[in-house]
Structure 1
């Protein structure tokens, strides 16, 4: 436990990581300010020192994880010409599947104030699934320029199919559901087979 008055480096990330651990272990019902700070090993009031309450915390967690995922996807266009198109598409699908943003977003949907804050931020240009979709489309256009993807392939539709399907898998990934990674692999194989010459 951090002593009172001692600064905690990167406190936001520490609290966000603790919240993810609580969510993974106990589900949305177990996510309280006290559970988060206990998991983080810090003073009980620390969350309210940095956030206006649990709703703001949940919204900021969701937006932070969306931004982190969008940054990772933004590196995809630089992969053009490397590995196979299927491998590169699968890599971004797995980044999305491993992201905690959708779990936080599902939680935000149950808390109107948090949901409103997330929606307003996304409408205002905060990175989210739209940014990931554009990164995938930009990557595919780069592959077209290299001749590794059919010139008439609809890059926007492929990106939408990939990101939309992964979003669906995330939102329906309850216990007992099929492994989303296997389904993502099947989707990528189908997309890669439908877009022309893939090397």
Structure 2
């Protein structure tokens, strides 16, 4: 792209380009040159907006985290409606879309990115941590609604669901699991916590 041409929403365009490169080629393929070529802009554009490539990637992760935080409100609001199992299965399928799975792999792949995320106060495995908080908030709301037993251990159930969900979706070589497989896993994990339906 010629210099001097204004790009609207540079950050958003660069993030979308990075996600496409990551999905197509995995963490090895993700370089600043690959991102700017995918976004059809000069390499200097990225470096004008971010201190370095790992800072760019950290902002990409934070952008995805904001999306999870937004979905938390919606999911918590679904408490008391529909099926608990279906609500959780849908939330996990949404959480572990291809981009999120690829970004989690990227976080484990790049030392510099993990350092940037730690400097920004993020601990554990970002995205998985926020996903766990989202599921925990929903489970807590369902317990308050009386659809889970009073002693349902939300702090154990939430990371168990997210961990099992990640294992189902993490295989990049095959198609993502179908809705039935995700639902079956959720039903198994929360079986003891579900309050029996009233006749």
Do Structure 1 and Structure 2 share a fold, with TM-score over 0.5?
yes
Q: Which residue of 2 aligns with 1:25?
A: 24
**Could you list the per-position Cα deviations for residues 39-60 of structure 1 after superposition, in whole angstroms to 9, with x for gaps in the alignment?**
1122222111111222222222
Q: Which residue of 2 aligns with 1:145?
A: 144
**TM-score, normalisation: structure 1:** 0.83
Cα RMSD (Å) of the superposition?
2.6
After TM superposition, the structure 1 = structure 2 runs for residues 90-105 of structure 1, keeping only pairs within 5 Å, are 90-98=89-97, 100-105=99-104
Secondary structure of the structure 2 residue equivalent to 1:35: helix
- Cα distance in structure 1, aligned partners of 2:34 and 2:106: 15
Ranges in structure 2 where 5+ consecutive residues have no aligned partner = none
**Could you tell me whether the CA contact under 8 Å between 1:108 and 1:115 is conserved in 2?**
yes
TM-fit CA distance, 1:78: 0.6
- Cα distance in structure 1, aligned partners of 2:55 and 2:21: 17
- Cα distance in structure 2, aligned partners of 1:196 and 1:28: 39
Which moved further from structure 2: 15-24 or 46-55? 46-55
**Could you tell me whether the CA contact under 8 Å between 2:26 and 2:102 is conserved in 1?**
no
- Cα distance in structure 2, aligned partners of 1:123 and 1:80: 28
After TM superposition, the structure 1 = structure 2 runs for residues 1-199 of structure 1, keeping only pairs within 5 Å, are 1=1, 3-98=2-97, 100-123=99-122, 128-170=127-169, 172-176=170-174, 179=177, 183-197=181-195
- Cα distance in structure 1, aligned partners of 2:77 and 2:48: 40
**TM-score, normalisation: structure 2:** 0.83
**Could you tell me whether the CA contact under 8 Å between 1:80 and 1:142 is conserved in 2?**
yes
Paired residue total: 196
Cα 1:108/1:197, change in 2 over 3 Å:
closer
- Cα distance in structure 1, aligned partners of 2:107 and 2:146: 42
Runs of 4+ in 1 over 4 A off after TM superposition: 180-183
- Cα distance in structure 2, aligned partners of 1:122 and 1:22: 27
Ranges in structure 1 where 5+ consecutive residues have no aligned partner = none
